[in-house]
């Protein structure tokens, strides 16, 4: 739930992960704001959420982001941009005043504002907006520039 007591787009819990066990997640950054580097350098994880949520932002992935994001786009990543947690399903917690959109196959993009929480499903894309008027302001613009692809893995390493 967000600070105002709302939860956006509550989805049913996804089926159990392949191989059971604690969920592990992978986030892979892509877009025009990302340098031409191998996917492995643009990837966070696989990371277990057993000990707590995965926080994403310049404070948490400082060196990785400097290596993979174009210098002029680094300013659009907040120090604490968002967090991914697992509690019966996956959840995205928006921590940035900059807009965040979730892109899900077959659905319109869903904006998640600072302080809000939204259901996150494997294969969703998390697009990062800038919050400024003269930059990429639409959901589609944000997805083209900077977006994280979210995947979930079971204990056996297979996608769930």
Q: 117 and 93 in contact (C-beta within 8 Å)?
A: yes
Residue 42: what pLDDT? 97
Looking at per-residue pLDDT, the higher value among 157 and 57 belongs to 57
Strands 54-56 and 90-94: unpaired
Q: Rounded to 10 degrees, what is the CA torsion of 126, 135, 32, 97?
A: -30
Residue 72 pLDDT level (bands cut at 50, 70, 90)? confident
Residue 103: what pLDDT? 97
Residue 24: which residues within 8 A CB-CB, separation 6 or more?
A: 45, 46, 47, 48, 49, 152, 153, 154, 155, 157
Mean pLDDT over residues 41-57, rounded? 94
The Cα 131–Cα 141 span in angstroms is 12
Query: What would the two tokens of residue 3 be?
Result: 């600070």
Residue 138: what pLDDT? 86
Helix, strand, or coil here: 50?
Answer: coil
- pTM summary value: 0.82
Query: What would the two tokens of residue 113 be?
Result: 């504002």
Question: Could you read off the pLDDT of 73-93 as tens digits, one per residue?
Answer: 888 888 889 999 999 899 999
Residue 135 has pLDDT above 60, yes or no: no
Which domains, from first to last, does the chain contain?
A: 24-153 (2.60.200.20)
The Cα 73–Cα 90 span in angstroms is 27
């Amino acid at each position: 739930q967000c600070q105002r007591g709302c939860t956006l787009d509550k989805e049913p819990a996804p089926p159990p992960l392949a191989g059971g066990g604690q969920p592990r997640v992978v986030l892979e950054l892509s877009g025009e704001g990302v340098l031409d580097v191998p996917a492995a350098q643009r990837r966070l994880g696989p990371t277990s959420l057993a000990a707590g949520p995965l926080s994403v932002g310049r404070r948490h992935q400082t060196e990785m982001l400097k290596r993979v994001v174009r210098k002029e786009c680094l300013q659009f990543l907040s120090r604490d941009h968002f967090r991914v947690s697992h509690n019966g399903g996956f959840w995205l917690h928006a921590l940035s005043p900059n807009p965040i959109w979730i892109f899900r196959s077959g659905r319109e993009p869903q904006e998640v504002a600072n302080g809000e929480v939204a259901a996150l499903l494997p294969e969703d894309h998390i697009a990062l907006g800038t919050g400024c008027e003269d930059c990429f302001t639409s959901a589609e613009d944000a997805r083209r520039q900077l977006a994280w692809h979210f995947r979930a893995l079971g204990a056996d390493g297979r996608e769930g």
